[in-house]
Homo-oligomer: A and B are copies of this chain.
Amino acid sequence: MGMIGGGQDAFIGAIHRLAANMDGLIELSCGALSINPETAIASGRALFLPESRTYTSYEEMIKSEAALPSEERIDFVTIVTPNFAHFAPAMMALEHGFNVVIEKPITFSLEEAKLLQDKVNETGLTLCLTHTYSGYPMVKQAKAMVKEGKLGKIRKVWVEYPQGWLSRLSEREGNAQAAWRTDPKKSGKSSVMGDIGTHAAHLAEYITGSSITAVCAELNTLVDGRVMDDDGAVLLKFENGAKGVLMASQVAAGEENALKIRVYGENGGIEWLQHDPNSLIVKWLTEPTQILRAGSNYSHLSSFATHNCRTPGGHPEGYLEAFANIYRNFALTLQCKLQGTEPSPEMLDFPTVVDGVRGMAFIDNVVASSESDLKWTPFVV
C-alpha cells in the first residue's frame, strides 16, 4: 500500500493506517503524505518508511512505484486527501495499473466520479471506497435479513446522522478540519451531505438493496457566518416503493457521531446505531424484540456478518474494525485476483466506484432539490 495524503496532523489518514494494519494483510510501503515536502518527509520518517519510498508528490510516487519490478511495487494506493484532491491521483493511479482505495466522498464532483467509473471499467482494476459504516458486521446482518425477506416488503426507512462538532464557527477558530469541510472550494457542493449525508444514504441503499429514486430536500446553514450548509433533511422515495426520511446535522450540539438507521417492513423492523455497533435490534410485529449480537454463535447470523467478526460475542469490535473490514475484503479480493481464484461474495462486499458515483449523485440531487420550490426532484445520475 502507498498512501497519498495522511501526513502528520491529518485525521483520516491515521485511521486508514490503523485499519489497514489490523489484520496483517497489508503493509504501508510508500507514501506521498503531504503536499508540503517537509511534512511529507517527517511523516514518512515517523511511519518508518524507507527514505527512497517517501515521496513529496503523488505524481512522483505513482511513476516511481510503477517503474519498480512487479514483486516490489505496491498493489494499490490509498487516497486520503481532502475531497477536491481525490480525482487526479486516483485517475493517475488507475492509468498506471494500480488498484485504488479512496476515502469518501469519492471525488469533488459527480462528473469526476463518472470518469473514474469509466476508467475502472476500462482497466478492470478495483476501486474501493471507504464508506466505513457498511463495514460493520451487524449492518451486513441487516442487509442479509432484508434480502432474505425476513421483514417482508420494505415500507419505511428512517436514517439519521447527528453530529455536533460544527455547532460553533470553528472554521474561524483555527480548526483545520472545520476549515476545509466548510469551504466550498475544498468540500464540494454540500458540506453536511458530502461529509455525513452520503454515509447515511449509502447505508440506506446498502441495507434495503434498493435505490433512491426521488428526493425532497432542505439544506440549512444554522450557524451564523458559515458559508456552507451544516444541516439538512431529505424525504426519500425508493425504487421498491418504500418511503424514507434522511436527517443529517453537524450542529446537533452534544451529539458525537450517532448514525442510526431503522428499516421497517411488513413483519418487523431493524434498528442499528453506530454507537452500539455490535447489536442489531430486530423488532417483530407479533414476537418480542430480539437483539442480535456480532460474534454470537447462534445460527441467526448471516455469513456476511460472521465473515466480518474477529472475536466472539461480548468482545466489542468498533469503528476501526469496521474500517479494517473494508480493507480486509478489498485485500482478500486483490489476493484472489492475483491468484486467479474467485473471491467469495463476502469478500466482494465492500463499497466500490459504483457507490461512489451514487454518493456524488446524491449530493447533486439533494442540492438541486434544496434549491427548488417543487417538492419532489427525481434522482438522476
A contacts, CB < 8 Å to B? 11, 14-15, 17-18, 21-24, 28, 47-48, 151, 155-156, 158, 160, 162-164, 167-168, 216, 218, 220, 222, 231, 233, 235, 243, 245, 247, 249, 251-258, 262, 264-269, 274-278, 282-293, 295-300, 310-321, 372-376
Q: Is the CB of A287 within 8 A of B283?
A: no
Contact of A231 among B15, B243, B285, B286 (CB under 8 A): B243
What are 28 A-B contacts with C-beta separation under 8 Å? A15-B310, A21-B22, A24-B28, A162-B264, A163-B314, A164-B285, A167-B267, A167-B285, A233-B243, A233-B245, A251-B264, A253-B264, A253-B268, A254-B283, A254-B285, A255-B264, A256-B296, A257-B312, A258-B314, A277-B316, A287-B298, A288-B293, A288-B296, A288-B300, A315-B319, A316-B319, A320-B320, A375-B375
Chain B residue contacts of A277, Cβ below 8 A: 316
Q: Is the CB of B285 within 8 A of A288?
A: no
Main secondary structure of the interface of A (DSSP, over half): loop
User: Measured between alpha carbons, how far is A254 from B162 in the docked complex, in Å?
Assistant: 24
Q: Is the CB of A158 within 8 A of B156?
A: no
How far apart are A264's CB and chain B's nearest CB, in angstroms?
A: 5
Question: Which one of A17, A220, A249, A264 has the highest number of Cβ atoms from chain B below 10 Å of its Cβ?
Answer: A264
User: Measured between alpha carbons, how far is A255 from B298 in the docked complex, in Å?
Assistant: 13
User: Measured between alpha carbons, how far is A300 from B108 in the docked complex, in Å?
Assistant: 38
User: Measured between alpha carbons, how far is A319 from B311 in the docked complex, in Å?
Assistant: 9
Q: Is the CB of B285 within 8 A of A253?
A: yes
How far apart are A374's CB and chain B's nearest CB, in angstroms?
A: 6
How far apart are A53's CB and chain B's nearest CB, in angstroms?
A: 16
A-B pairs, top 5 by smallest CB distance, nearest first, are A254-B283, A256-B314, A257-B314, A316-B318, A315-B319
Would A375 and B216 be within 8 Å (CB), given that A21-B24, A293-B256 are in contact? yes
How far apart are A178's CB and chain B's nearest CB, in angstroms?
A: 13
User: Measured between alpha carbons, how far is A321 from B18 in the docked complex, in Å?
Assistant: 10
Chain B residue contacts of A297, Cβ below 8 A: 286
User: Measured between alpha carbons, how far is A351 from B287 in the docked complex, in Å?
Assistant: 31
User: Measured between alpha carbons, how far is A258 from B11 in the docked complex, in Å?
Assistant: 32
**Chain B residue nearest in CB terms to A233:** B245
Would A268 and B243 be within 8 Å (CB), given that A164-B285, A274-B316, A375-B372 are in contact? no
Contact of A264 among B17, B249, B265 (CB under 8 A): B249
Chain B residue contacts of A258, Cβ below 8 A: 314
Q: Is the CB of B267 within 8 A of A262?
A: no
Contact of A156 among B222, B256, B283, B296 (CB under 8 A): B222
User: Measured between alpha carbons, how far is A276 from B295 in the docked complex, in Å?
Assistant: 15
Q: Is the CB of A298 within 8 A of B288?
A: yes
User: Measured between alpha carbons, how far is A21 from B269 in the docked complex, in Å?
Assistant: 37
Add 18 more A-B contacts to A164-B285, A255-B314, A256-B295 (CB < 8 A): A11-B312, A14-B310, A17-B24, A18-B23, A21-B23, A24-B47, A155-B231, A155-B253, A167-B266, A168-B266, A251-B264, A253-B283, A256-B293, A258-B314, A274-B314, A316-B316, A318-B321, A374-B375
User: Measured between alpha carbons, how far is A167 from B247 in the docked complex, in Å?
Assistant: 24
